[in-house]
Each structure stands twice: as structure tokens, then as C-alpha cells.
A and B are shown apart, each in its own frame.
Chain A
Amino acid sequence: GDSVTQMEGPVTLSEEAFLTINCTYTATGYPSLFWYVQYPGEGLQLLLKATKADDKGSNKGFEATYRKETTSFHLEKGSVQVSDSAVYFCALYQAGTALIFGKGTTLSVSS
């Protein structure tokens, strides 16, 4: 079945460092891909999405590009802030099915 694999955490960075969180997927067909963020004590929030190959999703300085050839959707940010500390989930969706999430990657940013 379809699945999502994310890099293990936690990821610990200093403020203004460059962030990459790797995500790869396995799917039949052509899924839409998502990054969700979960701040402490809050629900999941959609961070960005891409619906077809080579699309780039972006929001709040975060970016991810849908790479069909490598089945990847890596999350990047050029300069992280303390307020970016959260758990990040990669997910895929195909019509008629449920959202399928990775296990999540915890990001901790220190000042």
C-alpha cells in the first residue's frame, strides 16, 4: 500500500540555520503531497502542498518540491526561528483514499 517515510528526529538547530527534513513516498498513481506542522498543544496545520510533479509548495519561508523521479518531497527553510520548533509531518493523498502520514519529525530550534 501507499506509505510515507520521513527522516528520524529530533532535529536540533540553532536559530538562522538551514533546515532540511527528508520525505520520500511510495504510491501507485499520482498523489498530492503535503507538509503539516503541529505546534505544542495544538492540532495539525497544513503548512504547504503540491498536487503534481515539479510543483513547489511554499508558505512562511518553507518550501518543498514534488520530485516524481526520486519520489521525494523534502521540506526546506533557509533560516529557522525558535518559533519554528514543532513536529512536522509529511503526508500523501489520493482521491478516494485517506491522508497517509509519516511518523513525524521533531524540530527544536535554540537561540
Chain B
Amino acid sequence: EAGVAQSPRYKIIEKRQSVAFWCNPISGHATLYWYQQILGQGPKLLIQFQNNGVVDDSQLPKDRFSAERLKGVDSTLKIQPAKLEDSAVYLCASSALGVTDTQYFGPGTRLTVL
């Protein structure tokens, strides 16, 4: 069974630029999550989707971050414009419907904002 795929693995941008990350969850997983992991800290949930609907985006900085999950499969997370404090690893995870306590994580995208 293929795991959660993410791309790119690394991205370096200047502040005020835009960036987008892509995630493909495990086949059949209805729930998809985006986490932000700042160096030295644990992951923090940004947004949770169930199918193509948003379940929780209370921690998403909506003035600059956006996310979508078209057709209930792949998802993209966008930052526009980026700030220095957005430097972090962005992790995507997925879980089966009704089993949201068992989440499978992708390798992450390491973003550096200069």
C-alpha cells in the first residue's frame, strides 16, 4: 500500500513570495490533515478535511494560508505572501473514515523563507 505522498520535499523562497505544497493521501482515506512543524516543536494542526469539506481550520492563518481538497483526494496548501516565521516542515497526514485517531504521515515539505 502506497503511503502519503508530498511534493516538493524542499523549497526555498524569499519573503513575500508565494508557495504551494501538494499532498496525495493513502488511497481511500477520507480524512486529510495539514500540520506545521516548526523546528524544535511538535506538529500543529493547520486544517482538517473530510472528503472535500473542511472540518477544522481554526489554527489556519487565513490572511495568508489557504488549502483546498478538490474531489476529496489530493490537496494543496498555499502560502501567499510568505513570512520568515513560516519557515517550517509542512506535514500532510491521512486517516480512514471513522478512524481519525490513527493518522499516517507523509515525509513533509521543508520550507525555508529568506
Beyond A4-B42, A43-B107, A93-B101, is A98–B48 a contact (Cβ under 8 Å)? yes
> A35 contacts the other chain (Cβ, under 8 Å)?
no
Are B101 and A102 within 8 A (Cβ)? Answer: no
Are B106 and A91 within 8 A (Cβ)? Answer: no
Cα(A98)–Cα(B48), bound, Å: 8
Hey, what's the 0/1 contact readout for B78-114 against A, CB within 8 Å counting as 1? 0000000000000101000000111111111000000
Which residue of chain A has its CB nearest to the CB of B104? A46
Are A98 and B107 within 8 A (Cβ)? Answer: no
- Taking a contact as CB atoms closer than 8 A, the residue among B41, B100, B105, B108 that contacts A103 in the complex is B41
Which residue of chain A has its CB nearest to the CB of B48? A98
- Taking a contact as CB atoms closer than 8 A, the residue among A4, A36, A43, A49 that contacts B101 in the complex is A49
**Which residues of chain A in 16-47 are interfacial with respect to chain B, using CB atoms and an 8 Å cutoff?**
32, 34, 36, 41-46
Which of B4, B40, B42, B45 has the most chain A CB atoms closer than 10 A to its own CB? B42
Which residues on the B side are within 8 Å of A4 (C-beta)? Answer: 42
- Taking a contact as CB atoms closer than 8 A, the residue among B42, B93, B102, B107 that contacts A102 in the complex is B42
Which of A93, A98, A100, A101 has the most chain B CB atoms closer than 10 A to its own CB? A98
Which residues on the B side are within 8 Å of A32 (C-beta)? Answer: 101
Are B91 and A44 within 8 A (Cβ)? Answer: yes
**Which residues of chain B in 25-74 are interfacial with respect to chain A, using CB atoms and an 8 Å cutoff?**
33, 40-45, 48, 56
Are A99 and B41 within 8 A (Cβ)? Answer: no
Which residues on the A side are within 8 Å of B33 (C-beta)? Answer: 98
- Taking a contact as CB atoms closer than 8 A, the residue among B44, B45, B105 that contacts A44 in the complex is B105
> A89 contacts the other chain (Cβ, under 8 Å)?
yes
Cα(A102)–Cα(B107), bound, Å: 19
Cα(A98)–Cα(B50), bound, Å: 13
Other than the given A95-B100, A98-B48, A104-B42, 7 more pairs (CB < 8 A) read A4-B42, A43-B105, A43-B107, A44-B43, A95-B101, A99-B43, A100-B42
